[in-house]
Structure 1
């Protein structure tokens, strides 16, 4: 599973870690995040993320 970085603020989603504050369990691939997932720092949607 690959990491994805927010193109706006640089926050990185690491699927090995997940995002506990957002209820995302470790091992959740970026592709499997909810469609309404937003960057926890700047609030943009999944379409504003790129593979690292």
Structure 2
């Protein structure tokens, strides 16, 4: 599972946790998040997110 961060505001989407409060189930990969989804904190689209590198 990967994590994605909004480059505008720093909000993080964690694939393992999903966002059940926004209809995105835990375990939902970034590719399966709808293209119309937007950052709940600042309102930008998926294109403004970058994958985070997480140390093992």
TM-score, normalised by the number of residues in structure 1: 0.95
1:12-48 CA-to-partner distances (Å, cap 9, x unmatched) read 0001100012110000001110010100100100000
Is residue 2 of structure 2 the alignment partner of residue 2 of structure 1? yes
CA shift, 1:2, in A, is 1.1
- Runs of 4 or more, structure 1, over 6 Å off, are none
Provide the residue aligned with 2:24 in structure 1.
Answer: 24
Q: Aligned partners of 2:45, 2:16: CA distance in 1, in Å?
A: 20
Task: Give the structure 1 partner of residue 37 of structure 2.
Answer: 37
In the alignment, structure 2 segments of 5+ residues that lack a partner are none
Structure 1, unaligned stretches of length 5 or more? none
Q: Please, what is the CA RMSD of the aligned residues?
A: 0.6
